[in-house]
Amino acid sequence: MRRICAALLALSGSWTAAAAATPQSDRAEVARLDTEFQSAVKNNDAATMARILHNDMVLVLGDGRINTRAEQLQEARDRLIEYAIQDEDPGTQTVRVYGDTAVVTARLRIKGTSRGIAFERLLWFSDTYVRTAAGWRYFFGQASLHLP
């Protein structure tokens, strides 16, 4: 009986937190999380990336390749890409929230080396977050082709 009561109390707490959230607070939280995620990618911080990424997350690149959560985390652990720049252009981030789903769009400037080969790109991305019992998680991402 104690386990059932504890489980009900835990669930009611997560429902209360979601119910107390406003669209403005959701937008602010998702914007903060996505900025934190971009910083974690830049620094190859796999632990922070793992905390933010949904277990079923996938990223679709502009050329059609798909990267899974596991692949992204392994690339960070192996430091396959070293970033000098991996930052959103100021003022380009937009967060749209609809219930338990949020979409972040922004223009991203990246520069670094991948397996020793230098690159520099500008692109747009859309990152989709879903609200879970553990909070917002990054569920799906899509990156554009390189901009001119």
Sorted by where each begins, the domain ranges of the chain are 22-143
pLDDT value of position 124 = 98
Band of pLDDT at residue 95, cut at 50, 70 and 90: very high
Q: Express each pLDDT in 4-61 by its tens digit.
A: 444 434 444 444 455 578 999 999 999 999 999 999 999 999 999 999 999 999 999 9
Indicate if the pLDDT at residue 89 is higher than 80.
Answer: yes
- Dist. CA 55–CA 68, nearest whole Å: 9
Find the Cα–Cα–Cα–Cα dihedral 52, 105, 73, 70, rounded to 10°: 90
Residue 21 has what pLDDT? 86
The CATH number for 22-143, chosen from 3.10.450.50, 1.10.760.10, 3.90.420.10, 3.40.1160.10, is 3.10.450.50
Q: Flag whether pLDDT at 97 surpasses 80.
A: yes
Taking the model in full, what pTM does it have?
A: 0.85
Which pLDDT tens digit goes with each residue over 101-128?
Answer: 999 999 999 999 999 999 999 999 999 9
